[in-house]
């Protein structure tokens, strides 16, 4: 059986004391151990940002990409070896600003990725600029008169794009977060897990004390149906005195992108024998890449 210690890395986190990333980091490891995954069965992909350092601090395969390019790289990895569990870990700036266009297409393709967004509603690594999920009026280094724009609603956006698994949790409830990540890892296609996390240094407004009395669990709401896309849209737009967490939407009867690709029907590309190629094709590949 897998154990959380199997994913322990000698590299120690440099996050600020109290950062919500610690909860996310521990939840990812616990979810992988809970599903009896081994480090070699997992690929962690990230971009640029405080949260994107997570692969450095975890004993598993890892790839650090460019800012906002987490999902294209993860898509390539998944198609090269769809036998891997590919987990993306990046912040709201990386995912919802530079990377939002990529997210829309990953969702509509239903590529088999688990997309964990560490949403602290601020740019932390670059020292406190407002992000796409910052509240309107947020005073920051790049908005001294307050952010002019309305924040994006990422869960509603991916629902519109066709996502088949949309969930939210927060770093102050570790058991709930582990459950959401584990469920996402068991999903058939693209799975977004938006994680609300306090940034104790640059966003003290959205603190643990802010979230704790506001979050409520959708699965405890009488009659809530996670297969009802219209109801999921309504909850995805809810923000303020009440903030829903849990599975907003989940359907399992739609095949993933990799399941629909004929070339992958024989198994992961990395395990398919080169004998299937003509000698001329092998020579052309060697000439190009060796």
The answer to whether residue 206 scores a pLDDT higher than 80 is yes
User: For residues 181 and 187, what is the distance between their CA atoms, to the nearest angstrom?
Assistant: 10
**Positive/negative CA dihedral, 187, 192, 195, 199:** positive
E strands, 47-177, are 61-64, 85-91, 114-119, 165-170
**Positive/negative CA dihedral, 266, 271, 273, 274:** positive
The answer to whether residue 277 scores a pLDDT higher than 90 is no
Please give the average per-residue pLDDT across 21-41, as a whole number.
98
Query: Any idea how long the chain is?
Result: 290
Q: What is the pLDDT of residue 179?
A: 98
Query: pLDDT averaged over the chain?
Result: 95
Taking the whole predicted model, whether its pTM rises above 0.85 is answered as yes
Share of the chain above pLDDT 90, in %: 87
Q: Report all structural domains of the chain as residue ranges with CATH numbers, in order of start.
A: 4-265 (3.40.50.970)
Q: Are 117 and 194 in contact (CB under 8 A)?
A: yes
Place of tokens 């629909």: 260
Residue 121 DSSP SS3: coil
- Using 50, 70 and 90 to split pLDDT, how confident is the model at 9? very high
E strands, the chain, are 42-46, 61-64, 85-91, 114-119, 165-170, 191-196, 215-217, 243-250
**Positive/negative CA dihedral, 155, 159, 161, 164:** positive
Q: What is the pLDDT of residues 222-251, one digit of tens each?
A: 999 999 999 999 999 999 999 999 999 999
Q: What is the pLDDT of residue 283?
A: 87
Residue 159 DSSP SS3: helix
Q: Which residues contact 45 (CB under 8 A, 6 or more apart)?
A: 55, 62, 63, 65, 70, 73, 74, 77, 86, 87, 88, 89
* Torsion angle (degrees, nearest 10) of CA 153, 248, 53, 65: -70
Q: What is the pLDDT of residue 285?
A: 82
């Amino acid at each position: 059986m897998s154990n959380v210690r199997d994913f322990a890395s000698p590299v120690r986190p440099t996050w600020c004391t109290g950062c919500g990333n610690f909860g996310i980091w521990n939840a990812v490891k616990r979810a992988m151990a809970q599903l009896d995954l081994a480090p070699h069965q997992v690929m962690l992909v990230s971009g640029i940002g405080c949260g994107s350092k997570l692969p450095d601090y975890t004993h598993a395969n890892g790839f650090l990409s460019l800012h906002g390019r987490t999902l294209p790289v993860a898509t390539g990895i998944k198609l090269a070896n769809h036998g891997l569990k590919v987990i993306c870990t990046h912040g709201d700036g990386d995912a919802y600003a530079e990377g939002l266009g990529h997210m829309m297409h990953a969702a509509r393709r239903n590529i088999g990725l688990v997309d964990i967004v560490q949403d602290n509603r601020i740019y932390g690594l670059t020292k406190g600029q407002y992000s796409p999920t910052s509240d309107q009026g947020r005073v920051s280094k790049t908005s001294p008169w307050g952010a002019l724009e309305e924040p994006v609603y990422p869960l509603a956006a991916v629902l519109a794009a066709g996502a088949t698994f949309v969930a939210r949790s927060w770093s102050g409830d570790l058991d709930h977060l582990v459950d959401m990540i584990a469920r996402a890892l068991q999903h058939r296609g693209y799975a977004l897990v938006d994680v609300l996390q306090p940034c104790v240094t640059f966003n003290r407004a959205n603190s643990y004390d802010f979230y704790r009395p506001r979050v409520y669990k959708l699965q405890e709401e009488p009659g809530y149906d996670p297969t009802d896309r219209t109801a999921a849209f309504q909850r995805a737009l809810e923000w303020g005195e009440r903030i829903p967490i849990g599975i907003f939407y989940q359907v399992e009867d739609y095949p993933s992108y990799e399941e629909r690709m004929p070339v992958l029907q024989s198994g992961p590309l990395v395990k398919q024998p080169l004998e299937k190629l003509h000698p001329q094709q092998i020579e052309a590949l060697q000439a190009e890449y060796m």
